[in-house]
Structure 1
Amino acid sequence: MRLLLLLLLFAPVALAQSLTTKPVFPLKVSDNGRYFVDQSGKPFLYHADTGWQVFSRLTTAETREYFITRKQQGFNTIQVQLSMNPDSVNRAGHRALINYDFTRPDENYFAQVERGIQLADSLGLLLNITPFWIGCCGEAYGIGGKHEVYKANGPAKARQMGMYLGERFGKYKNLTWNLGGDNDPKSIRAEIVALAEGLHAALPGQLKTYHASPPHSSTDLFQYAPWLGFSMIYTYWREKPNEWTDPQHQKHVYEAALEEYNKSDRMPFILGESQYEGDGSRYANDIGTPQQVRRQAYWTMLCGGAGHAYGHEGWDFPKLGTAKGRAYDWRTILQYPGGAQHMGHVRRLFEALPWWTLQPDQRHTVLVSGYGEFMKDNYVAAAMSEDKTLLVAYLPRATNAVGVDLSQFKKTQLSIRWYDPRTGQYSQPTSLPNQGLKKFSPPLPMQDDWVLVVKGE
């Protein structure tokens, strides 16, 4: 059957409105604890880019260029590091700390950070800031590093640094905070907690999370911490476990998301990191295709997530260079299809729908067949709205028909459409009564992934 692909008429309008209408920061947690809202009560879909080293690698003019590019591409949040490495300097030659001392921040460095925060604020962008990255592999401020800055400073100085950050940047409302960085706290837990508590004492109204080592989430480590406002999940894949974690404990994104969704102490969660889009010429580890980064975003949103972060191999803003015969720089990386196009389609789809009402169809009561295998990469994540008028299902491998029990819907007539996550286009709708089990196959050709949207009329 030949289906005409039509441009989705209302989605570009919805995204255009999102780009021109600034959220009223700071964010807060919804009444049901599942998602973020701004100060006006409007749901906020956390849609982030991982521009981790923007403060240390770019000038103010380049930062403006980067922020504007990502905003135009549909991102509303940037995840950044205040500083990743204690020896790294910004473009003006300043380090974050004098003599690696938490009580001696370099005002020149922090003034540059503030200019970046101001730019983001003027554009209506949320920043999620990690103060001092603790690191996975001895490359940062934490365990095994050259200076082991956290341990050398101790809890009292860490708390003082948290207070300083809160007082220094407290006037800006477009901020959330991210403790840790690529690792569990381990032997520096006291210092991490002290920094978090100092920050929270100075900024109780700004949400905070923790960036653990994969596949751990923030609540695996700090579930009842009074400063923890939302959780971050962080995982890779089962087939190719990450080199610094236990292969027996790797999970697909949807597995980690459902585990987080089902915890009794409810709070919003996001996918903070997973595979990074790239071709592997710069980095061999954690690199994914556009289809892989798409599916991880859709899996998160349809398994109860409040948002996600897209990763790419330009996170450290490389200058023009070559690797394995390919020329690259941070500007060309910003045009990778996953980030420049496909992630915008994710936001278009969900912001045109009441995404915050979606509940994961974990027991397959609506999507009853063709949902693939749990713990495999063909698993179909599906979610139905609380009022039983909307179903969204993501097929990571569009090879089989899926069976939907239409009688689960409360509307008498239903509209069935397929959304192409590569182009942001919908198929022509089909109308059916909400009776019985129906099977639906994606449009031809059955390439990669598709999204099924069933909506009551």
Structure 2
Amino acid sequence: MIRSRCIAMGILILLQLKMVQAQSLKVATSSHYLQKEDGKPFVWIGDTAWELFHKLDSTGVDEYLTTRMEQGFTVIYAVVLAEHNGLSSPNAYGELPLRHLDPATPNLRYFEHIDYVVNKAQSLGLYLAVLPTWGSYVPNKRDGDRSYIFTPQNAYDYGSFLGSRYRNKPIVWVLGGDRNVDNTEANRVWDSMATGIQMGNGNTQLMSYHPAGESTSAYWFHKSPWLAFNMYQTGHARKAMPGYQYAEAHRLLDPPKPFLDGEPAYEDIPIKFWEYIAQKPLKELDSGVIDRSGIIRDSTYFRGGFFSDRDVRNQAYWGLLSGAMGFSYGNNAVWQFVEVGKNSVLPSLHTWREALRRPGAEQIKHLRLFMEKWDFSTFVPDQSIIYGINRPGTSHIRAATNTDRSVVFVYTPVNQVIVLNSPAHAQEVYKVSWFDPRNGRTYVQEDVALMEQVEFTPPEETDDCLLILELKK
């Protein structure tokens, strides 16, 4: 253990010597997306690796972060005071985060490993969305009437410590952690923590709030000066969750702020997983259903099924064409870093290493290609382009143009005929192509003159896909 820790610290020193200089992020003038210091729009594609600081050693950190960087991710979500017994179960090096369970007295040895993760991410060009604590450690109705470690005063002290220690790092702070703000004390704690972070870092890093499922940070903090962008969570309750409706609502808020879904349905997670846990705790299930590590042996037990890569794509492209500043991916095995021989909270189909290259994660590079090639920062949601009835559900279509309306984007979650009204450039000729988000392939079809209503039929080879119309000049 001592030798491995010395090696890890040696690597940390090397990383610091050749660190990638990260540009700080800020809200664009349009208030619809984030941008870097050089003015380029920031492509936010995150992975919810909540237990990263808590569960992995430096070797695991290197493997995880390098893989995600290669797949096209740009942001990694991680929690300092983790959900999985984060106060009482030590990290990979035997360290607990706090002394005497007091946020005002952090254990600096615990934070040495966080330093390593932050610096490794920076060396790979990744940003971190860091949650100072999971929301269960702040007073809330969901966790009931019990003792909580945070008060407004120690939340300020803790926030100041974090802000000062990581003030020059590629970090966006995310308060909350799957909890709503349902009492005055909680509101005071989060405001104090935000103020402390800003005091420590000189107000140089952006901040948001991660709420519980089917809720949004805008309910409590939209007009708070520390909230740079809104985050909502559509969650894991059902297929075809209409995240685009959340996006539409956020576009109407005053003042305007960027927004995104901080936790859409995770790939491979059981639909409404909490119902199964409530019926029978994992430890009581027969080993033929779930083994001692929480890995699923009989998936048919979960009668509602699981979310797939297709569900991931639906939320990603629905959100982008509805005005979201980016996308958050998650995999059920990865967020909790499931390993054989170790306990997990939710039943999982895979270990975290097996899940790293699941289809939804591998398809992220195509999402990033789409965002960069077509400059997502210019997207303008426009449902008026779609002709006919377009109900919510598994076949719901979303559309957007760019700022000069020279390109039209239409996403369909199923292979179906799309009928469009003529855009602004009626009777002009458009190049017609289809983008397959499963593999990044583009199919080019014959040019078309848009007059009144025009039908478009996707290639047979596609499933869900994007219709792209480019005005020919």
TM tier, smaller: 0.7 to 0.9
Pairs within 5 Å for 1:212-231: 212-231=211-230
Q: How far does the alpha carbon of each residue in 1:127-171 deviate from its partner, in whole angstroms, 9 at most, with x for none?
A: 000001013xxxx5554669967x444111111111111111112
Greater alpha carbon shift after TM alignment, 412-421 vs 306-315 = 412-421
Pairs within 5 Å for 1:143-222: 143=140, 151-172=148-169, 174-187=170-183, 188-203=186-201, 204-222=203-221
Pairs within 5 Å for 1:9-408: 24-84=22-82, 85-135=86-136, 140=137, 142-143=139-140, 151-172=148-169, 174-187=170-183, 188-203=186-201, 204-236=203-235, 239=238, 252-278=242-268, 280=270, 282=295, 287-313=306-332, 314-320=334-340, 328-340=350-362, 342-362=363-383, 364=384, 366-369=385-388, 372-374=390-392, 376-399=393-416, 401-408=417-424
Secondary structure of the residue aligned to 2:401 is strand
Residues 100 and 33 (structure 1 numbering): CA distance in 2 closer, same or farther, change over 3 Å?
A: same
2:445 match: 429
State the alpha-carbon separation in 2 of the partners of residues 23 and 410 from structure 1: 47
Residues 381 and 237 (structure 1 numbering): CA distance in 2 closer, same or farther, change over 3 Å?
A: farther
- Give the deviation of 1:428 after TM superposition: 2.1
State the alpha-carbon separation in 1 of the partners of residues 349 and 325 from structure 2: 36
- Give the deviation of 1:269 after TM superposition: 0.7
The one-letter code matched in structure 1 to 2:196 is G
Secondary structure of the residue aligned to 1:351 is helix
Residues 293 and 74 (structure 1 numbering): CA distance in 2 closer, same or farther, change over 3 Å?
A: same
State the alpha-carbon separation in 1 of the partners of residues 50 and 377 from structure 2: 27
- Give the deviation of 1:330 after TM superposition: 1.1
Greater relative contact order (Cα < 8 A, sep 6+): 1
- Give the deviation of 1:286 after TM superposition: 9.7
Greater alpha carbon shift after TM alignment, 346-355 vs 284-293 = 284-293
Q: Runs of 5+ in structure 2 lacking a partner?
A: 1-19, 271-289, 297-301
* 8 Å Cα contact 1:252/1:377 also seen in 2: no
Q: Runs of 5+ in structure 1 lacking a partner?
A: 1-21, 241-249
Residues 379 and 229 (structure 1 numbering): CA distance in 2 closer, same or farther, change over 3 Å?
A: same
Residues 24 and 107 (structure 1 numbering): CA distance in 2 closer, same or farther, change over 3 Å?
A: closer
State the alpha-carbon separation in 1 of the partners of residues 340 and 318 from structure 2: 34
Residues 154 and 30 (structure 1 numbering): CA distance in 2 closer, same or farther, change over 3 Å?
A: same
Q: How far does the alpha carbon of each residue in 1:347-401 deviate from its partner, in whole angstroms, 9 at most, with x for none?
A: 1112111211111113x2x2223x6303x232111111110111111101223x1
Residues 51 and 170 (structure 1 numbering): CA distance in 2 closer, same or farther, change over 3 Å?
A: same
State the alpha-carbon separation in 2 of the partners of residues 319 and 239 from structure 1: 27
Residues 148 and 201 (structure 1 numbering): CA distance in 2 closer, same or farther, change over 3 Å?
A: farther
* 8 Å Cα contact 2:405/2:424 also seen in 1: yes
State the alpha-carbon separation in 1 of the partners of residues 365 and 375 from structure 2: 17
* 8 Å Cα contact 2:138/2:149 also seen in 1: no
Residues 38 and 428 (structure 1 numbering): CA distance in 2 closer, same or farther, change over 3 Å?
A: same
Secondary structure of the residue aligned to 2:459 is coil
State the alpha-carbon separation in 1 of the partners of residues 125 and 105 from structure 2: 31
Residues 286 and 171 (structure 1 numbering): CA distance in 2 closer, same or farther, change over 3 Å?
A: farther
- Give the deviation of 1:257 after TM superposition: 1.3
The one-letter code matched in structure 2 to 1:101 is D
* 8 Å Cα contact 2:33/2:258 also seen in 1: yes
State the alpha-carbon separation in 2 of the partners of residues 101 and 286 from structure 1: 41
* 8 Å Cα contact 1:126/1:175 also seen in 2: yes
State the alpha-carbon separation in 2 of the partners of residues 60 and 286 from structure 1: 35
The one-letter code matched in structure 1 to 2:382 is D
State the alpha-carbon separation in 1 of the partners of residues 211 and 93 from structure 2: 31
- Give the deviation of 1:237 after TM superposition: 6.7
State the alpha-carbon separation in 2 of the partners of residues 76 and 411 from structure 1: 40
- Give the deviation of 1:65 after TM superposition: 1.3
* 8 Å Cα contact 1:320/1:328 also seen in 2: no
* 8 Å Cα contact 2:267/2:330 also seen in 1: yes
Q: What TM-score does the superposition give when structure 1 sets the normalisation length?
A: 0.84
State the alpha-carbon separation in 2 of the partners of residues 186 and 325 from structure 1: 29
The one-letter code matched in structure 2 to 1:120 is A
* 8 Å Cα contact 1:24/1:38 also seen in 2: no
2:10 match: none
Q: How far does the alpha carbon of each residue in 1:384-428 deviate from its partner, in whole angstroms, 9 at most, with x for none?
A: 1110111111101223x1112334237933111111111110112
Q: How far does the alpha carbon of each residue in 1:282-314 deviate from its partner, in whole angstroms, 9 at most, with x for none?
A: 586994111111100111101000001101112
State the alpha-carbon separation in 1 of the partners of residues 159 and 405 from structure 2: 45
State the alpha-carbon separation in 2 of the partners of residues 326 and 47 from structure 1: 23
State the alpha-carbon separation in 2 of the partners of residues 263 and 411 from structure 1: 35
2:276 match: none
The one-letter code matched in structure 2 to 1:53 is E
The one-letter code matched in structure 2 to 1:310 is Y
State the alpha-carbon separation in 2 of the partners of residues 305 and 326 from structure 1: 29
Secondary structure of the residue aligned to 1:300 is helix
* 8 Å Cα contact 1:413/1:434 also seen in 2: yes
Q: What TM-score does the superposition give when structure 2 sets the normalisation length?
A: 0.82
- Give the deviation of 1:321 after TM superposition: 5.9
State the alpha-carbon separation in 2 of the partners of residues 127 and 213 from structure 1: 20
1:454 matched to 2:469: yes
